[in-house]
């Protein structure tokens, strides 16, 4: 097979397309992503929909739209997904996996069917979690995809891979995270708060403190374990430009904040006063 369809966007789409271009002479590209479109070779073509081509095999990476059952009946579609399916089907599987303290995280290449991330698995990549940030893990995923996606697709075409059905009894589902999900819950334990800071890193929003109607990203933090009772979510000390906020298992210490709307840097000591409830 000399030609396939590629559908994708974002950094995951870029590395997927790089991999496919290394092995396929012609790729029909369904995307509006500027970075993807900038990668077109003379032998590649742009299509506007699945109905514009008779090519029967497609690969999706970073594609979040629902594909119609009509298309799924006509074409075989391979999808990439940042979790060890059947766990964390849906959006933002990596972050949800981290926040659930998974000891092992991973990436799946699987066939697509009418249900969300439900199709048979072709290959999985596994990473032991040892305090990495989500960016560090995603970089591992991107490297794996760039080096292996085309090989997996070709092995599938040549029937060297036997697709493995997912175990529905082990499936979990998650949904897209919004900005409100980035707000720190001071009632959580220190392990969760620490993991949140590992999961929410650039280029995405950082963990957020909400004060009134304003939101502030936290640019750096310390967690102090202190076993004592006080009002959770209250600023209990200001010292050396830092604000000490009571959390369930101790104190969250923050210094530099970023106004979510204006992107202005602000010292916590200039924004909060002792006694303020957040």
Specify the CATH architecture of the domain 3-174: 3-Layer(aba) Sandwich (3.40)
Q: Alpha-carbon distance 266 to 273, whole Å?
A: 14
* Per-residue pLDDT reduced to its tens digit, 146-196: 999 999 999 999 999 999 999 999 999 999 999 999 999 999 999 999 999
Grade residue 66 by pLDDT with cuts at 50, 70 and 90: confident
Tokens of 48: 């506007």
Specify the CATH architecture of the domain 179-271: Roll (3.10)
Q: Alpha-carbon distance 199 to 191, whole Å?
A: 12
The answer to whether 233 and 217 are in contact (CB under 8 A) is no
* Per-residue pLDDT reduced to its tens digit, 10-32: 999 999 999 999 999 999 999 99
The answer to whether 109 and 152 are in contact (CB under 8 A) is yes
Domain boundaries, the chain: 3-174, 179-271
> Which helix or strand (DSSP H or E) is residue 271 part of?
helix 268-271
Query: Taking the model in full, what pTM does it have?
Result: 0.94
Please tell me the total number of residues recorded for the chain in this structure. 278
Q: Where are the beta strands (DSSP E) in 168-274?
A: 173-174, 208-211, 214-218, 221-225, 235-239, 242-247, 250-254, 256-259, 265-267
């Amino acid at each position: 097979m000399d030609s396939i369809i590629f559908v994708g966007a974002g950094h995951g789409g870029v590395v997927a397309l790089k991999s496919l271009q290394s092995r396929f002479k012609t790729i029909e590209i369904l995307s509006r992503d500027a970075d993807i479109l900038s990668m077109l070779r003379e032998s590649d073509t742009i299509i506007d929909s699945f109905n514009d081509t008779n090519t029967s095999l497609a690969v999706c990476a970073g594609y979040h739209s629902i594909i119609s059952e009509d298309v799924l009946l006509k074409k075989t579609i391979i999808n990439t997904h940042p979790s060890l399916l059947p766990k964390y089907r849906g959006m933002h599987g990596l972050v949800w996996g981290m926040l659930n303290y998974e000891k092992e995280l991973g990436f799946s290449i699987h066939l697509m069917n009418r249900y969300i991330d439900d199709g048979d698995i072709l290959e999985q990549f596994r990473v032991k979690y040892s305090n990495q940030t989500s960016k560090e893990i995603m970089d591992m995923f991107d490297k794996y995809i760039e080096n292996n996606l085309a090989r997996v697709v070709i092995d599938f075409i040549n029937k060297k891979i036997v697709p493995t059905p997912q175990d529905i009894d082990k499936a979990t589902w998650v949904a897209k995270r919004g900005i409100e999900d980035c707000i720190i819950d001071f009632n959580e334990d220190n392990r969760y708060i620490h993991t949140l800071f590992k999961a929410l890193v650039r280029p995405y929003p950082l963990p957020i403190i909400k004060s009134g109607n304003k939101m502030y990203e936290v640019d750096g933090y310390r967690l102090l374990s202190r076993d004592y009772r006080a009002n959770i979510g209250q600023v209990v000390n200001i010292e050396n430009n830092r604000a000490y906020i009571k959390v369930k298992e101790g104190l969250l210490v923050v210094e530099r904040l970023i106004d979510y709307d204006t992107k202005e840097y602000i010292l916590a000591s200039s924004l909060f006063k002792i006694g303020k409830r957040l």
